[in-house]
């Protein structure tokens, strides 16, 4: 299933994409796509609905974040060996963990604001993992049982604050609008193997990232298991799992970064596409 939330910011309604690719209104069956709707029993009820009987959503509505009420937005860094190399950093022996503040989360096509005085705002296409069942100390073998589905994320980053203002990456990762998510939450059963998805990102129409989740250092099951030993993962939590090479930081002969007016488009196989215009802080 492809689940989403559509409508003006703060007024989104739950929706589902039918077999013809049309949006159907779920609000008569579901108040919102919130943490309590992501467990297996709830998803099975949605899956059993006759989609043709649901009201069509006409036009081209705005996509909001596909899940509401996320309490933890956790990120994994340097999870592709070739991205670690372009960053001039060693391949990590364990997952590199940092946080993106939940206040940075926004719809997939909403404008992204470049922070005040920023000169190093960067892009990163990433596979997002949405937790459906609470997870604490789960094994790698059982980890994917706790995953509701997957989504596209642009892990927008400010490299000056990330790497030059102390040792805490979080400072460069959670500026307002730095977490575009969506357009859909695609349930795990529809995605299948999360380690075999192509991914790409363009800046102003130029292809800069072109990779696959099959080159992750730590796969999704390993990441979920590892994180569940550090924290209790809660339904609705989102994990963003690292990016392939081609970010601004790694451009040759020298890095280059986003400026107001730039347009970033990105996507992941089976999970949809995003488009953001980058705008100046006002």
- E strand spans, the chain: 2-6, 13-17, 23-25, 73-77, 96-99, 105-106, 112-114, 121-122, 125-131, 147-154, 157-158, 179-180, 185-187, 198-203, 206-212, 238-240, 263-268, 272-280
Instruction: Report the distance separating Cα 157 and Cα 91, nearest Å.
Output: 20
- Going residue by residue through the chain, which has 282 residues, state the pLDDT in tens, using 9 for 90 and above: 999 999 999 999 999 999 999 999 999 999 999 999 999 999 999 999 999 999 999 999 999 999 999 999 999 999 998 888 888 778 899 999 999 999 999 999 999 999 999 999 999 999 999 999 999 999 999 999 999 999 999 999 999 999 899 888 899 999 999 999 999 999 999 999 999 999 999 999 999 999 999 999 999 999 999 999 999 999 999 999 999 999 999 999 999 999 999 999 999 999 999 999 999 998
3-state secondary structure labels for all residues of 106-162: ECCCCCEEECCCCCCEECCEEEEEEECCCECCCCCCCHHHHEEEEEEEECCEEHHHH
Task: Give how far the C-alpha of residue 197 lies from the chain's centroid of Cα atoms, to the nearest Å.
Answer: 14
Q: Considering the entire predicted model, what is its pTM?
A: 0.96
How does pLDDT run across 37-92, given as a tens digit for each residue? 999 999 999 999 999 999 999 999 999 999 999 999 999 999 998 888 888 778 89
Phi, psi at 276, each rounded to 5°? -130, 135
Q: Which residues, in sequence order, are CB contacts of 65 under 8 Å at separation 6+?
A: 5, 12, 105, 106, 107, 181, 182
Residue with tokens 């500026």: 175
Is-contact 281 116, C-beta < 8 A? yes
Please list the residues that pair with 274 across neighbouring strands.
266
All structural domains of the chain:
2-53 (no CATH), 73-280 (3.90.850.10)
């Amino acid at each position: 299933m492809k689940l989403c939330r559509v409508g003006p910011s703060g007024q989104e309604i739950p929706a589902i994409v039918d077999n013809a690719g049309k949006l159907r209104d779920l609000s008569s069956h579901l108040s919102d796509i919130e943490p309590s709707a992501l467990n297996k029993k709830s998803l099975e009820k949605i899956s059993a609905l006759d989609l043709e009987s649901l009201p069509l959503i006409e036009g081209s509505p705005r996509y909001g974040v596909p899940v509401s009420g996320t309490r933890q937005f956790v990120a994994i860094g340097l999870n592709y060996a070739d991205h670690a190399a372009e960053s001039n950093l060693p391949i990590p022996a364990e997952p590199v963990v940092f946080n993106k503040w939940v206040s940075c989360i926004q719809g997939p096509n909403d404008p992204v604001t470049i922070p005040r005085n920023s000169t190093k705002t960067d892009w990163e296409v990433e596979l997002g993992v949405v937790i459906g069942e609470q997870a604490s100390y789960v094994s790698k073998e059982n980890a994917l049982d706790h995953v509701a589905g997957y989504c596209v994320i642009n892990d927008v980053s400010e490299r000056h604050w990330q790497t030059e203002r102390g040792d805490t990456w979080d400072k460069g990762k959670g500026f307002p609008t730095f977490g575009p998510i969506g357009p859909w939450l695609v349930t795990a059963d529809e995605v299948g193997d999360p380690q075999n998805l192509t991914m790409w990102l363009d800046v102003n129409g130029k292809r800069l990232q072109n990779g696959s989740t099959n080159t992750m250092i730590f796969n999704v099951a390993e990441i979920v298991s590892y994180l569940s030993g550090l924290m209790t993962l809660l339904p609705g939590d989102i994990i963003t799992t690292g990016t392939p090479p081609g970010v601004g930081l790694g451009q040759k002969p020298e890095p280059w970064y986003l400026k107001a007016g730039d347009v970033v488009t990105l996507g992941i196989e089976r999970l949809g596409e995003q488009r953001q215009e980058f705008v100046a802080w006002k």
